[in-house]
Amino acid sequence: MTSSGDTPDLDAVADLLDVLDLKHEGTTRFGPLDASTDPDDNHSHEMDLYVGRSQETPHKRAFGGQVLAQSVMAAGLSIRANAGLDERPIHSLHAYFIRPGDSLKPISFAVENLRDGRSFSVRRVYAMQNGQTLLSATLSFQVPAEGLEHQSEMPSVPEPDRVRTTPQELEGIDHPVADHWRSRSIDVRTVEGALFFQPGRQKYAAQNVWMKTITQLPEDPLIHAAVMAYASDYTLLESVLRKHGLVWSDPRLRAASLDHSMWFHRPGRIDEWLLYQQESPSASGGRGLGMGRLYGIDGTLLCTVAQEGMLRLKQD
Protein backbone atom coordinates (compact mmCIF):
# COMPACT_ATOMS: atom_id res chain seq x y z
CA MET A 1 0.00 0.00 0.00
CA THR A 2 2.88 2.36 0.71
CA SER A 3 6.51 2.33 -0.19
CA SER A 4 9.22 2.33 2.43
CA GLY A 5 10.91 5.43 3.77
CA ASP A 6 9.74 9.00 3.20
CA THR A 7 8.63 8.53 -0.41
CA PRO A 8 4.91 7.93 -1.05
CA ASP A 9 3.82 5.37 -3.61
CA LEU A 10 4.56 6.94 -7.01
CA ASP A 11 1.59 5.07 -8.50
CA ALA A 12 -0.71 7.23 -6.33
CA VAL A 13 -0.77 9.99 -8.95
CA ALA A 14 -1.53 7.50 -11.73
CA ASP A 15 -4.36 6.19 -9.57
CA LEU A 16 -5.74 9.72 -9.06
CA LEU A 17 -5.60 10.41 -12.80
CA ASP A 18 -7.47 7.17 -13.42
CA VAL A 19 -10.16 8.26 -10.94
CA LEU A 20 -10.49 11.57 -12.84
CA ASP A 21 -10.72 9.79 -16.21
CA LEU A 22 -14.51 9.78 -16.34
CA LYS A 23 -16.32 7.71 -18.95
CA HIS A 24 -19.14 9.29 -20.93
CA GLU A 25 -22.16 7.00 -20.70
CA GLY A 26 -24.51 8.98 -22.96
CA THR A 27 -27.37 11.06 -21.60
CA THR A 28 -30.04 10.69 -18.96
CA ARG A 29 -33.48 12.27 -19.10
CA PHE A 30 -33.89 12.70 -15.40
CA GLY A 31 -31.68 13.63 -12.49
CA PRO A 32 -31.36 11.66 -9.25
CA LEU A 33 -34.17 9.39 -8.14
CA ASP A 34 -34.78 11.49 -5.05
CA ALA A 35 -35.65 14.48 -7.28
CA SER A 36 -39.01 15.02 -8.97
CA THR A 37 -39.52 13.14 -12.24
CA ASP A 38 -42.28 15.46 -13.42
CA PRO A 39 -41.55 16.12 -17.15
CA ASP A 40 -42.20 19.80 -16.54
CA ASP A 41 -39.79 19.99 -13.60
CA ASN A 42 -36.34 21.57 -14.03
CA HIS A 43 -34.71 18.25 -13.14
CA SER A 44 -36.22 16.63 -16.26
CA HIS A 45 -33.73 18.32 -18.61
CA GLU A 46 -31.55 15.96 -20.59
CA MET A 47 -28.19 15.60 -18.89
CA ASP A 48 -24.81 14.25 -19.93
CA LEU A 49 -23.92 11.21 -17.86
CA TYR A 50 -20.36 10.38 -16.77
CA VAL A 51 -19.13 7.58 -14.53
CA GLY A 52 -15.95 7.32 -12.48
CA ARG A 53 -14.57 4.91 -9.94
CA SER A 54 -13.81 5.73 -6.32
CA GLN A 55 -10.61 5.51 -4.32
CA GLU A 56 -10.93 3.04 -1.47
CA THR A 57 -10.53 4.61 1.97
CA PRO A 58 -9.97 2.93 5.37
CA HIS A 59 -13.49 3.85 6.55
CA LYS A 60 -15.02 2.92 3.14
CA ARG A 61 -16.51 6.40 2.67
CA ALA A 62 -15.67 8.19 -0.55
CA PHE A 63 -13.33 11.15 0.02
CA GLY A 64 -15.28 14.37 -0.51
CA GLY A 65 -12.39 15.98 -2.39
CA GLN A 66 -12.48 13.11 -4.86
CA VAL A 67 -16.18 13.61 -5.59
CA LEU A 68 -15.60 17.36 -5.89
CA ALA A 69 -12.71 16.86 -8.33
CA GLN A 70 -14.73 14.41 -10.44
CA SER A 71 -17.56 16.96 -10.58
CA VAL A 72 -15.09 19.53 -11.95
CA MET A 73 -14.04 17.04 -14.60
CA ALA A 74 -17.63 16.13 -15.53
CA ALA A 75 -18.68 19.77 -15.94
CA GLY A 76 -15.52 20.64 -17.90
CA LEU A 77 -15.87 17.64 -20.21
CA SER A 78 -19.47 18.55 -20.97
CA ILE A 79 -18.33 22.01 -22.08
CA ARG A 80 -15.54 20.57 -24.24
CA ALA A 81 -18.10 18.29 -25.86
CA ASN A 82 -19.83 21.38 -27.27
CA ALA A 83 -17.88 22.04 -30.47
CA GLY A 84 -19.30 25.55 -30.73
CA LEU A 85 -17.58 26.77 -27.54
CA ASP A 86 -14.07 28.11 -27.16
CA GLU A 87 -11.92 26.83 -24.30
CA ARG A 88 -13.47 28.07 -21.05
CA PRO A 89 -11.49 27.54 -17.84
CA ILE A 90 -13.39 27.09 -14.60
CA HIS A 91 -13.69 30.23 -12.47
CA SER A 92 -15.97 29.12 -9.61
CA LEU A 93 -17.77 26.23 -8.01
CA HIS A 94 -20.26 25.94 -5.18
CA ALA A 95 -21.03 22.46 -3.87
CA TYR A 96 -23.06 20.81 -1.12
CA PHE A 97 -22.13 17.43 0.30
CA ILE A 98 -25.51 15.80 0.88
CA ARG A 99 -24.70 12.26 1.99
CA PRO A 100 -21.58 10.07 2.18
CA GLY A 101 -20.61 7.81 -0.70
CA ASP A 102 -19.32 4.24 -0.76
CA SER A 103 -15.64 4.17 -1.73
CA LEU A 104 -16.02 0.61 -3.08
CA LYS A 105 -18.55 1.63 -5.73
CA PRO A 106 -18.40 3.85 -8.84
CA ILE A 107 -20.14 7.24 -8.88
CA SER A 108 -22.35 8.61 -11.66
CA PHE A 109 -22.28 12.31 -12.57
CA ALA A 110 -25.30 13.83 -14.29
CA VAL A 111 -24.44 17.21 -15.83
CA GLU A 112 -27.15 19.74 -16.59
CA ASN A 113 -26.40 22.58 -19.02
CA LEU A 114 -27.86 25.67 -17.34
CA ARG A 115 -26.47 28.16 -19.85
CA ASP A 116 -23.88 28.72 -22.56
CA GLY A 117 -23.44 32.46 -23.08
CA ARG A 118 -20.89 34.43 -25.05
CA SER A 119 -18.55 34.66 -22.05
CA PHE A 120 -19.80 32.23 -19.42
CA SER A 121 -21.01 28.64 -19.26
CA VAL A 122 -22.78 27.25 -16.20
CA ARG A 123 -23.27 23.58 -15.34
CA ARG A 124 -25.07 21.82 -12.51
CA VAL A 125 -23.65 18.44 -11.50
CA TYR A 126 -25.30 15.70 -9.46
CA ALA A 127 -22.98 13.04 -8.09
CA MET A 128 -25.02 9.89 -7.49
CA GLN A 129 -24.80 6.36 -6.12
CA ASN A 130 -27.67 3.90 -5.93
CA GLY A 131 -30.05 6.57 -7.23
CA GLN A 132 -29.28 8.95 -4.36
CA THR A 133 -27.49 12.29 -4.53
CA LEU A 134 -24.11 12.47 -2.81
CA LEU A 135 -23.19 15.97 -3.94
CA SER A 136 -24.85 18.79 -5.85
CA ALA A 137 -22.63 21.45 -7.41
CA THR A 138 -22.96 24.46 -9.66
CA LEU A 139 -19.85 25.34 -11.65
CA SER A 140 -19.14 28.33 -13.88
CA PHE A 141 -16.60 28.59 -16.71
CA GLN A 142 -15.44 31.75 -18.48
CA VAL A 143 -13.72 32.71 -21.71
CA PRO A 144 -10.37 34.31 -20.68
CA ALA A 145 -10.72 38.10 -20.49
CA GLU A 146 -8.79 41.24 -19.54
CA GLY A 147 -9.89 43.42 -16.62
CA LEU A 148 -8.96 45.01 -13.31
CA GLU A 149 -6.15 43.29 -11.42
CA HIS A 150 -5.13 43.12 -7.77
CA GLN A 151 -4.50 40.39 -5.19
CA SER A 152 -3.64 39.83 -1.56
CA GLU A 153 0.01 39.22 -0.73
CA MET A 154 1.35 35.76 -0.01
CA PRO A 155 2.48 35.39 3.62
CA SER A 156 6.12 34.79 4.45
CA VAL A 157 6.59 31.23 5.74
CA PRO A 158 9.41 28.66 5.75
CA GLU A 159 10.09 27.05 2.36
CA PRO A 160 8.63 23.54 1.80
CA ASP A 161 12.01 21.82 2.06
CA ARG A 162 12.24 23.11 5.64
CA VAL A 163 8.84 21.66 6.65
CA ARG A 164 8.27 18.09 7.85
CA THR A 165 6.71 15.67 5.36
CA THR A 166 3.69 13.50 6.13
CA PRO A 167 5.82 10.31 6.43
CA GLN A 168 8.11 12.17 8.86
CA GLU A 169 5.10 13.31 10.91
CA LEU A 170 3.82 9.70 11.02
CA GLU A 171 7.14 7.95 11.62
CA GLY A 172 6.78 4.88 13.82
CA ILE A 173 2.96 4.79 13.65
CA ASP A 174 1.59 1.47 12.37
CA HIS A 175 -2.11 1.95 11.58
CA PRO A 176 -4.26 1.60 8.42
CA VAL A 177 -5.29 5.27 8.55
CA ALA A 178 -1.65 6.35 8.92
CA ASP A 179 -0.75 4.12 5.95
CA HIS A 180 -3.51 5.81 3.95
CA TRP A 181 -2.24 9.29 4.83
CA ARG A 182 1.32 8.28 3.89
CA SER A 183 0.26 6.92 0.49
CA ARG A 184 -1.59 10.01 -0.79
CA SER A 185 -0.88 11.45 -4.21
CA ILE A 186 -0.45 14.92 -2.71
CA ASP A 187 2.66 15.88 -0.75
CA VAL A 188 1.16 17.82 2.18
CA ARG A 189 3.45 19.71 4.58
CA THR A 190 1.94 21.80 7.37
CA VAL A 191 4.23 24.62 8.50
CA GLU A 192 2.81 24.64 12.04
CA GLY A 193 2.88 20.83 12.27
CA ALA A 194 0.29 18.27 11.18
CA LEU A 195 -2.73 17.47 13.35
CA PHE A 196 -2.84 13.72 12.86
CA PHE A 197 -2.08 12.63 16.42
CA GLN A 198 -0.47 15.59 18.18
CA PRO A 199 -2.30 18.89 18.81
CA GLY A 200 -0.67 22.15 17.83
CA ARG A 201 1.52 23.89 20.38
CA GLN A 202 -0.51 27.10 20.01
CA LYS A 203 -4.30 27.29 19.93
CA TYR A 204 -4.48 29.59 16.94
CA ALA A 205 -7.23 29.46 14.28
CA ALA A 206 -4.88 29.61 11.30
CA GLN A 207 -2.19 27.59 9.58
CA ASN A 208 -0.13 27.35 6.38
CA VAL A 209 0.18 24.22 4.26
CA TRP A 210 2.51 23.52 1.34
CA MET A 211 1.22 20.97 -1.15
CA LYS A 212 1.82 19.54 -4.62
CA THR A 213 1.42 16.23 -6.41
CA ILE A 214 4.28 13.81 -5.86
CA THR A 215 4.86 13.50 -9.63
CA GLN A 216 4.13 15.68 -12.65
CA LEU A 217 0.61 15.99 -14.07
CA PRO A 218 -0.47 16.30 -17.71
CA GLU A 219 -0.58 19.82 -19.17
CA ASP A 220 -4.39 19.90 -19.19
CA PRO A 221 -5.56 22.91 -17.09
CA LEU A 222 -8.86 21.14 -16.31
CA ILE A 223 -6.94 18.35 -14.59
CA HIS A 224 -4.93 20.86 -12.56
CA ALA A 225 -8.14 22.63 -11.48
CA ALA A 226 -9.72 19.30 -10.53
CA VAL A 227 -6.69 18.23 -8.49
CA MET A 228 -6.66 21.63 -6.75
CA ALA A 229 -10.28 20.98 -5.77
CA TYR A 230 -9.29 17.48 -4.62
CA ALA A 231 -6.42 18.69 -2.44
CA SER A 232 -8.28 21.73 -1.10
CA ASP A 233 -10.54 19.41 0.93
CA TYR A 234 -7.70 17.80 2.90
CA THR A 235 -6.87 20.36 5.58
CA LEU A 236 -9.21 23.36 5.37
CA LEU A 237 -11.03 22.59 8.63
CA GLU A 238 -7.80 22.10 10.57
CA SER A 239 -7.75 25.76 11.63
CA VAL A 240 -10.86 24.96 13.66
CA LEU A 241 -9.21 21.90 15.22
CA ARG A 242 -6.00 23.83 15.94
CA LYS A 243 -7.90 26.58 17.74
CA HIS A 244 -9.49 24.03 20.08
CA GLY A 245 -6.47 21.79 20.63
CA LEU A 246 -7.96 18.85 18.71
CA VAL A 247 -6.54 16.26 16.31
CA TRP A 248 -8.06 14.06 13.59
CA SER A 249 -7.43 10.90 15.61
CA ASP A 250 -9.44 12.11 18.62
CA PRO A 251 -12.03 9.32 19.14
CA ARG A 252 -14.63 11.88 20.22
CA LEU A 253 -14.44 13.85 16.97
CA ARG A 254 -17.26 13.59 14.42
CA ALA A 255 -16.34 15.55 11.31
CA ALA A 256 -17.91 15.90 7.87
CA SER A 257 -17.72 18.49 5.09
CA LEU A 258 -21.03 20.25 4.51
CA ASP A 259 -20.26 22.54 1.58
CA HIS A 260 -17.32 23.76 -0.47
CA SER A 261 -16.75 26.82 -2.65
CA MET A 262 -13.80 27.78 -4.83
CA TRP A 263 -12.97 30.80 -6.93
CA PHE A 264 -10.24 30.18 -9.50
CA HIS A 265 -8.64 33.60 -10.02
CA ARG A 266 -5.69 32.69 -12.22
CA PRO A 267 -4.34 29.54 -13.90
CA GLY A 268 -1.81 27.50 -11.99
CA ARG A 269 -0.20 24.10 -11.62
CA ILE A 270 -0.53 21.81 -8.64
CA ASP A 271 2.46 19.68 -9.64
CA GLU A 272 4.49 22.67 -8.41
CA TRP A 273 4.48 23.87 -4.81
CA LEU A 274 1.38 25.78 -3.71
CA LEU A 275 0.95 27.52 -0.36
CA TYR A 276 -2.49 27.03 1.18
CA GLN A 277 -3.02 29.82 3.72
CA GLN A 278 -5.92 28.84 6.00
CA GLU A 279 -7.92 30.43 8.78
CA SER A 280 -11.18 29.90 10.63
CA PRO A 281 -13.18 33.05 11.43
CA SER A 282 -15.91 31.19 13.33
CA ALA A 283 -17.14 27.95 14.85
CA SER A 284 -20.63 27.58 16.32
CA GLY A 285 -23.64 25.29 16.36
CA GLY A 286 -21.53 22.15 15.83
CA ARG A 287 -20.11 23.66 12.63
CA GLY A 288 -16.78 25.25 11.75
CA LEU A 289 -15.92 27.59 8.87
CA GLY A 290 -12.60 27.36 7.06
CA MET A 291 -11.29 29.95 4.61
CA GLY A 292 -8.22 29.48 2.44
CA ARG A 293 -6.07 31.05 -0.25
CA LEU A 294 -3.92 29.07 -2.67
CA TYR A 295 -0.74 30.80 -3.83
CA GLY A 296 1.79 29.72 -6.42
CA ILE A 297 5.38 29.57 -5.22
CA ASP A 298 5.97 32.89 -7.00
CA GLY A 299 3.29 34.56 -4.86
CA THR A 300 0.49 34.56 -7.45
CA LEU A 301 -2.94 34.15 -5.86
CA LEU A 302 -4.54 31.25 -7.73
CA CYS A 303 -7.69 30.37 -5.74
CA THR A 304 -9.82 31.36 -2.79
CA VAL A 305 -11.60 28.53 -0.94
CA ALA A 306 -14.33 28.34 1.68
CA GLN A 307 -15.78 25.33 3.45
CA GLU A 308 -18.12 24.75 6.35
CA GLY A 309 -17.96 21.42 8.12
CA MET A 310 -19.78 19.60 10.86
CA LEU A 311 -17.42 19.30 13.81
CA ARG A 312 -18.88 17.67 16.90
CA LEU A 313 -17.36 16.11 19.99
CA LYS A 314 -19.16 12.98 21.13
CA GLN A 315 -19.84 13.13 24.82
CA ASP A 316 -19.06 10.11 27.02
- Specify whether 257 is catalytic: yes
Which residue type does 113 have?
N
Are residues 256 and 100 in contact, defined by beta-carbon separation less than 8 angstroms? yes
Closest to 212 measured CA to CA, from 195, 224, 196, 194: 224
Catalytic residue among 71, 232, 257, 280: 257
What CA–CA distance (Å, rounded) separates 307 from 279?
A: 11
What CA–CA distance (Å, rounded) separates 82 from 117?
A: 12
Catalytic residue among 48, 207, 233, 277: 233
Domains of the chain from N-terminus onward: 11-145+160-313 (2.40.160.210)
Are residues 16 and 56 in contact, defined by beta-carbon separation less than 8 angstroms? no
- Specify whether 86 is catalytic: no
User: Quick one: the chain helix, strand, coil %, rounded to 5?
Assistant: 20, 35, 45
Q: What is the pLDDT of residues 250-302, one digit of tens each?
A: 889 999 999 999 999 999 999 999 999 999 999 999 999 999 999 999 999 99
Mean pLDDT of 177-194: 88
Q: How many CB atoms are located within 10 Å of the residue 315 CB?
A: 5
One DSSP character per residue, 75-114 reads HHHHHHT-TTS----EEEEEEEE-S--BTTS-EEEEEEEE
pLDDT value, residue 10: 54
Q: How many CB atoms are located within 10 Å of the residue 108 CB?
A: 21
What CA–CA distance (Å, rounded) separates 54 from 139?
A: 21
- Specify whether 179 is catalytic: no
* Inter-helix orientation angle 221-232/11-20, to 10°: 110
Catalytic residue among 140, 232, 280, 307: 307
Q: What is the pLDDT of residues 101-147, one digit of tens each?
A: 999 999 999 999 999 999 999 999 999 999 999 999 999 999 999 99
